[in-house]
Structure 1
Amino acid sequence: MSKTQVSRISISVASDLLRRFDDHIKRLGYENRSKAVQDAMQSLVTESKWMCEKMGKGVGAITMVYSHSVKGLEEELTDIQHQFEEAICASMHVHLDEENCLEIIAVRGSASDVRDLAQELKTRRGVKQLKLAN
């Protein structure tokens, strides 16, 4: 059995982000940071592949966390969803706390329409995180 070749890299990261990452991976049971970073990188590559490469039709879900205190954002997000109504099956809105909301959007249809919808949503000021899963 051959070993996978590995590359040693160096990155710069904000101290607070590194502290939160280390706390989180400890809770998840990782024994070292390298394995956690590898898993995070693999997850990013796998998830973004659908965003970049998938053609034809498909189904999936968009999960989005946003600040509901950004003036006009909720209306803007609703308007965008109406522009892509053929790709949206359903949506659910969850109040996370006084500042943040979670929107879960079930999508079905053209992969390019779903990608365009996700791109339109995630570029809005106040959208903190958006993930597209298939």
Structure 2
Amino acid sequence: MESELSRIGVSIPVDLLSRFDEIMHQTGYSSRSEGIRDSIKSYIKYYEWVCEVKGERVGIISVIYNPSQHGISEKFSSIKYSYPEILISTSSIYISEREILEVIILQGNAEEIKLFNENIMAQKGVKYVRLSTIELTND
């Protein structure tokens, strides 16, 4: 059972909210609030999953970001240089004038991979980040 409701005010870019509203309509949500609640629940479940990842892993981070965001390239480079022991490979492609898709492959301790991921997520201009991991086995 959910606890009592709290009202909040959130600033969201118009194009993002419009796209969200389209999806809510297509999927049959009765209200924007219901869709936002489900989105928050999904984010919490994903975050909890990431927090449970332990041990030696291979990590794949998919990032979409705006290359014209001031300083983002330098910040990404700085993050990558801060983790030389786990960074295996990166690949980037322009998917539009304002979006680059970067795939980052890491190998090492799950805690370090999660820190790397959180540093990328925190950058202004990042539109999407998804971490997937695979447990390393001795088979």
Q: Please, what TM-score do these two structures have when normalized by structure 2?
A: 0.69
CA distance in 1, matches of 2:87, 2:100: 19
Higher mean C-alpha displacement, 8-17 vs 99-108: 8-17
Higher mean C-alpha displacement, 32-41 vs 102-111: 32-41
- State the partner residue of 2:90: 91
Matched, 1:120 2:119: yes
Q: Following TM superposition, by how much is the alpha carbon of 1:44 offset from its aligned partner in structure 2, in angstroms?
A: 0.6
Provide, for residues 5-63 of structure 1, a one-character-per-residue CA deviation record: whole Å limited to 9, x for no partner. Answer: 24462343347354432212223x23434653343123211221244343322233222
Residues 1-134 of structure 1 mapped to structure 2, 5 A cutoff: 5-7=1-3, 9=5, 10-14=7-11, 16=14, 18-27=17-26, 29-33=27-31, 36-134=35-133
CA distance in 1, matches of 2:38, 2:132: 17
The verdict on how the C-alpha distance between 1:19 and 1:46 changes in structure 2, with shifts beyond 3 A counting, is: same
Q: Please, what TM-score do these two structures have when normalized by structure 1?
A: 0.71
Give the number of equivalent residue pairs: 129
Give percent identity, aligned residues only: 26
C-alpha contact 1:30 1:36 (8 A) present in aligned 2 = no
Flag structure 1 segments of 5+ consecutive residues without an equivalent. none
RMSD between superposed Cα atoms in Å: 2.8
